[in-house]
């Protein structure tokens, strides 16, 4: 288990540390309440992988892919989906070949991914973010 504390000033360094954990077959499931900073962190992870494309709000797009120096990275936001719809996105196949960050992984059925990095983002009292990272398998 690894714990990272960061603010908007140090988010670049935090994003880089998290980016090292991304690889095909090891999706990053990003937990945290609305406003915790999941999309903002993802945006900086994409930037740290030298992607030249802007991350738009996945609230409207559900799935977006980026070509990065390490290969394709998917940013998936399941907020608006139910368990039934998530089964139709083909995430298992994408996970085999590409890197993946999933917001609102609570929407997935239990044991959807057998192996993953669980990342839990929390807002501390002073506004600093705490990210707890654990490998689950
Ligand atoms: N590390 C941080 N420190 C301070 N504010 C942050 C941080 N990360 C995100 N924010 C702010 O919190 C708000 C919500 O962020 P967002 O990434 O949309 O959250 P989520 O995707 O978890 O709902 C934004 O206004 C953003 O600027
Ligand atoms: Mg979000």
Distance CA 82, CA 45 (A): 26
State the closest ligand 1 atom to the C-alpha of 14, by its place in the atom list counted from 1: 1
Could you tell me if the CB of 58 is within 6 A of ligand 1? no
Residue 79 within a domain: yes
Residue 108 within a domain: yes
pLDDT above 70 covers what percent of the chain?
Answer: 93
pLDDT-based confidence at residue 50 (cuts at 50, 70, 90): confident
Distance CA 84, CA 100 (A): 20
CATH code, 62: 3.40.50.300
- Count CB neighbours of 8 within 10 A: 12
Residue 43's H or E segment, with its range, is helix 38-48
Residue 57 within a domain: yes
pLDDT of amino acid 30: 98
Distance 24 CA to ligand 1 centre (A): 26
Range of the domain at 76: 2-86+96-124
Residue 54 within a domain: yes
> What would the pLDDT profile of 62-109 be if each residue is shown by its tens digit?
899 999 989 999 999 999 998 888 988 999 999 999 999 999 999 999
Distance CA 118, CA 116 (A): 6
Residue 45 within a domain: yes
Residue 133 within a domain: no
pLDDT of amino acid 58: 55
Average pLDDT rounded to a whole number, residues 32-56: 87
Count how many domains the chain has: 1
Residue 11 predicted with pLDDT over 90: yes
Residue 131 within a domain: no
State the closest ligand 1 atom to the C-alpha of 32, by its place in the atom list counted from 1: 22
pLDDT of amino acid 52: 66
Residue 57 predicted with pLDDT over 90: no
Could you tell me if the CB of 108 is within 6 A of ligand 1? no
Q: Are 74 and 65 in contact (CB under 8 A)?
A: yes
Residue 135 within a domain: no
State the closest ligand 1 atom to the C-alpha of 34, by its place in the atom list counted from 1: 23
* Ligand minimally distant from the alpha carbon of residue 59: 2
State whether residue 110 is helix, strand or coil: coil
User: To 10 degrees, the CA torsion angle through 117, 25, 48, 70?
Assistant: 160
pLDDT of amino acid 87: 87
């Amino acid at each position: 288990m690894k714990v990272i504390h960061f603010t908007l000033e140090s988010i670049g360094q935090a994003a880089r540390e998290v980016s090292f954990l991304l690889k095909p077959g090891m999706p990053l499931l990003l937990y945290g309440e609305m406003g915790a900073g999941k999309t903002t962190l993802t945006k900086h992870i994409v930037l740290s992988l030298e992607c030249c494309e802007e991350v738009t709000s996945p609230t409207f797009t559900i799935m977006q892919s980026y070509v990065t120096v390490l290969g394709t990275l998917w940013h998936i936001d399941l907020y608006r989906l139910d368990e039934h719809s998530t089964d139709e996105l083909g995430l298992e196949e994408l996970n085999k070949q590409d890197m993946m960050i999933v917001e609102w992984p609570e929407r997935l059925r239990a044991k959807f991914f057998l192996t993953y990095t669980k990342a839990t983002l929390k807002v501390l009292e002073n506004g600093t973010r705490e990210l707890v990272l654990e490998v689950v398998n």
